[in-house]
Amino acid sequence: MPEIALSHLVRRLDIQVGQHTTAGIKPENDDAVGIRIPEGTTLTTKGAVAVIADGVSTAEAGKEASQIAVTSFLTDYYSTHDSWSIQTSGLKVLVALNRWLYGLGQSYTSAEKGFITTFSGLILKSAGAYIFHVGDSRIYRLRDGDFELLTRDHAIPAGNGHRYLSRALGIDVSLEIDFHHLNLLPGDRFLLTTDGIHDWLPNDRLKHHLSQSSDHNLSCKNITEEALKLGSDDNLSVQIVCIEDTGEPEREDALAHLRTLPCPPPLDKGHILDNWRVVREVHVNTRSEVYLVEDITDGKKAILKAPSSLHQEDPAYLERFVLEEWIGSRIQNANVVKVLRSSSQRKFLYYLTEYVSGPTLAQLLKERTRLSVVDARNIITQVASGLRAFHRKDTLHQDIKPENIIYTDTGVKIIDFGSTHIAGIHEIHFSIARTNLLGTRDYSAPEYQLGHTATTRSDQFSLAILLYELLTGKLPYGPQYHKAETPKDFDLLQYTPSYDHNPLVPVWMDMAVQKAASLKADARYPALSEFIADLKNANPAFTTQRKLPLLERNPLRFWKVATCLLLLSNLLLLTLLTHKLI
């Protein structure tokens, strides 16, 4: 196994930074700033990041929006795969972040409760500078005495000195982001500001402060104080980033070789991949290979997942595989398995998750056939907690089933990110081809088979099917569900109450399961929390609901019964007539 030459990564980026933010004369600060300079190989592979955001003051949640934008970008960007270019990583994160903020705003009836913010991000990696920008915060560069504005304000004049933003995070479900790639030179200085600064300080004063800066935090504070003296009536935020030395020049990407990393060969017990020794094979099929491994330095165990070498030449599949690691890194929840960062340079394409000891729910059902009502409800409550963590990131899991839930003494863990979907990712750059139905047919909502848009209610359907199986050991619509392909097929399916198989299931609980497992997405619960609430306490609407006539409860059975009765009556009439004639 040849070593990968890293001599071109010897030179390291050396930067000095400073920042300051203040509410100014306003009662609270809607601005947010953040800088992250990682250590070790992460600085080489991902670079350093400076982000500045100005929450729209006319939107009630502008402060929350700017804070979410800064903290989430700094977290999610460093969770993206090393093989992605800076442009791909940044744009994917921002599209997902925009959808999240927009969704938060849509959950309120008042338009003023908008989660809207400007965003300007500067990523410095090797000898390159990458700018992501939307709104009217700004990024300047000072080079050899030339002070240059690198961004363009997305604002439209509205008269009387007022203007409104034409583009910002959270303002619309779609998002157009300005992206620029510039080369870096030693001595370059960057200045990031919100409009509370650059609307009041002229360029010559900004240039003066930037060129004279030695204590960068103090310089940032001096800039805000001068803007306040000149009458700034807005929040004020400023960042300074100075390049002392650059890394090696990039040719598209200093780690372009990662994009061509080979899939690992089939592994056996004792084989070593990087610094991980294979303990045993967990699961291998034509799509992926999963192994229990241990770190050869400290013995720490982990799960290693690698793509099958059969898909080495399938870019859509490899892109989907790389996306799995990023999605898993974004979800932080006690009921979701954690993605681990490898401590060594990877020579093959794979990712690591924490090792969780315990059977899957599929193995548990095989042993017990079905679970008690209390145990099943507790498990589903925890799975719902994990699912809500996905949904808060505008992400669908799309493959909730017994095999993807691990049961432990301390709780359950959702595993496998292979079928997950992030709203809006398909809009940009690497479009992920999905030629096959994702998830597992018996647990997937009808909308997947019918080609309708999947939503969080689709995951709710899978969760309800899982609960039904835990309670009964069976599936609610029987074997015909697996064969259903058309709307007519689904219309003919009938739900069998769980208490028909397990008399210990309360009727009111079964009605909650039936609602969540409805074949019509609109008939399910608006939110997972409502489903869980009805599982814990009897919904009065269920306990007092009148007994529906057979025609409404089971139309197919009604017409079967009606046909039989009609046939019997005709036979009786025929018998009487025959007897009379005789």
Q: 515 with 561, same domain? A: no
Assign residue 472 the CATH number of its domain. 1.10.510.10
Separation of alpha carbons 427 and 246, rounded Å? 33
pLDDT of residue 19: 97
Sign of the alpha-carbon torsion through 151, 154, 159, 162: negative
> What is the pTM assigned to this prediction?
0.63
Residue 256 covered by a domain: no
Separation of alpha carbons 244 and 241, rounded Å? 10
Separation of alpha carbons 472 and 490, rounded Å? 22
Q: How many CB atoms lie within 10 A of CB 564?
A: 10
Task: Name the nearest CA neighbour of 263 among 282, 289, 291, 284.
Answer: 289
The residue with tokens 């750059």 is 429
Q: How many domains does the chain have?
A: 4
Task: Name the nearest CA neighbour of 125 among 222, 21, 25, 38.
Answer: 38
Residue 297: exposure state from Cβ atoms within 10 A (0-12, 13-18, ≥19): exposed
Separation of alpha carbons 102 and 198, rounded Å? 27
Q: 40 with 154, same domain? A: yes
pLDDT of residue 55: 92
pLDDT of residue 401: 96
Residue 417 covered by a domain: yes
User: Is residue 15 helix, strand or coil?
Assistant: strand
Q: 305 with 370, same domain? A: no
Q: 145 with 192, same domain? A: yes
Residue 295 covered by a domain: yes
Q: 411 with 528, same domain? A: yes
pLDDT of residue 572: 78
Q: 150 with 84, same domain? A: yes
Q: Which residues of 230-265 are buried (b: 16+ CB within 10 A; e: fewer)?
A: eebebbbbbbbbbbeebbbebeebbbeebbebebbe
Q: 540 with 417, same domain? A: yes
Q: 148 with 291, same domain? A: no
Residue 432 zone, left/alpha/beta (φ > 0; ψ -120 to 50; rest): beta
> Residue 294: CB partners within 8 Å, gap ≥ 6?
276, 277, 279, 300, 301, 302
Strands (E), 46-177: 48-54, 119-125, 128-134, 138-143, 146-149, 155-159, 162-165
pLDDT of residue 158: 66
Residue 123 covered by a domain: yes
Q: Which residues of 117-153 are buried (b: 16+ CB within 10 A; e: fewer)?
A: bbbbbbbbbbbbbbbbbbbbbbbbbbeeeebeebbeb
Q: 94 with 130, same domain? A: yes
Residue 292 covered by a domain: yes
* Contact by Cβ (8 Å): 471, 375: no
From first to last of the 582 residues of the chain, give the pLDDT tens digit: 222 222 333 456 789 999 999 999 999 999 999 999 998 778 877 899 999 999 987 767 889 999 999 999 999 999 887 657 788 889 989 999 999 999 888 765 444 568 999 999 999 988 889 999 999 999 999 999 999 999 999 988 766 667 788 999 999 888 899 999 998 999 999 999 999 999 999 999 999 999 998 999 999 999 999 999 999 999 999 999 999 988 755 444 433 343 467 888 889 999 999 889 999 999 888 888 999 999 998 899 999 999 887 877 777 777 778 878 888 888 889 999 999 977 667 788 899 999 998 899 999 999 999 999 999 999 999 999 999 999 888 789 999 999 999 999 889 999 988 888 875 454 333 434 444 446 688 999 999 999 898 999 999 999 999 999 999 999 999 999 999 999 999 999 999 999 999 999 999 999 999 999 999 999 999 999 999 999 999 998 886 554 455 554 455 666 677 777 787 877 777 777 776 655
Separation of alpha carbons 149 and 203, rounded Å? 9
Q: 219 with 134, same domain? A: yes
Q: Which of 354, 373, 394 delimits the end of a domain?
A: 354
Q: Which of 191, 212, 245 delimits the end of a domain?
A: 245
Separation of alpha carbons 481 and 464, rounded Å? 15
Residue 490 covered by a domain: yes
Residue 1 covered by a domain: no
Residue 6 covered by a domain: no
Assign residue 297 the CATH number of its domain. 3.30.200.20
* Contact by Cβ (8 Å): 425, 92: yes
**H or E element at residue 461:** helix 456-472
Q: 539 with 569, same domain? A: no
Q: 214 with 147, same domain? A: yes
Separation of alpha carbons 64 and 115, rounded Å? 7
Residue range of the domain that includes 163? 11-245
DSSP string covering 149-218: E-S---EEEEETTEEEESS-BTSSSS---EEEEEE--TT-EEEEE-HHHHTTS-HHHHHHHHHH-SSHHH
DSSP string covering 501-564: H-TTS-HHHHHHHHHHT-SSGGGS-SSHHHHHHHHHS--HHHHS-----HHHH-HHHHHHHHHH
